[in-house]
Structure 1
Amino acid sequence: MSAPALPAPVNVSPLIRFGRWGLLSAGILYGMFHQNRLSKKETAFREIEGKQKVIRDAQLAAEKKLASEREMKNLEDMMTTKK
């Protein structure tokens, strides 16, 4: 059993070939431009996030300390009221 013979390849018009390569090139250039723009935007966003994280961590630490102090006070009150 031999494979059936394939027909000869069709010559593609130079206009179509140019169009394919042109659109491929345009797509690659657009992708590079778009990636560059998004990278700059993400870098700026990460810088802002980094600054906000420091502030947020400080606030969380202060809240945690306050909650711990309240809990200790509540425990002391519970221990002193039981006799």
Structure 2
Amino acid sequence: MADLQAPVRVSPLIKFGRWSFLGLGVLYGAFHQNRLSKREANIREVEGKHKAERDAKLAAEKKAAADREIQELEAMAK
């Protein structure tokens, strides 16, 4: 078996620094997540408005294509 040495005592200053940076990281992450969530909500709202216009345009194009196809088929049948 390997000889295990006693653990090294970590300075209280180093422990405090580690915990402080951990806390700051969590707070920064929460702030950053909140900011990005607001930005994404705005983007989704704009995309929702454009989606309605896009869907209407695609529906009109599909209808026009279907009408053209029907006319072509009628022309072939005559």
Larger Rg: 1
Give yes or no for TM over 0.5: yes
Task: Confirm or deny that 1:60 pairs with 2:58.
Answer: yes
Given candidates 14, 30, 49, the residue that maps to 2:47 is: 49
C-alpha displacement at 1:6, in angstroms?
2.8
**Whole-angstrom CA distance in 1 between matches of 2:59 and 2:14:** 65
**Whole-angstrom CA distance in 2 between matches of 1:74 and 1:29:** 65
Give the number of equivalent residue pairs: 78
Which sections of structure 1, spanning at least 5 residues, go unmatched? Answer: none
2:29 is matched with which residue?
31
C-alpha displacement at 1:11, in angstroms?
1.3
- Percent identity for Structure 1 against Structure 2: 62
TM-score normalised according to structure 1 size: 0.86
RMSD across aligned C-alpha pairs, in angstroms? 1.1
Which sections of structure 2, spanning at least 5 residues, go unmatched? Answer: none
1:12 is matched with which residue?
10
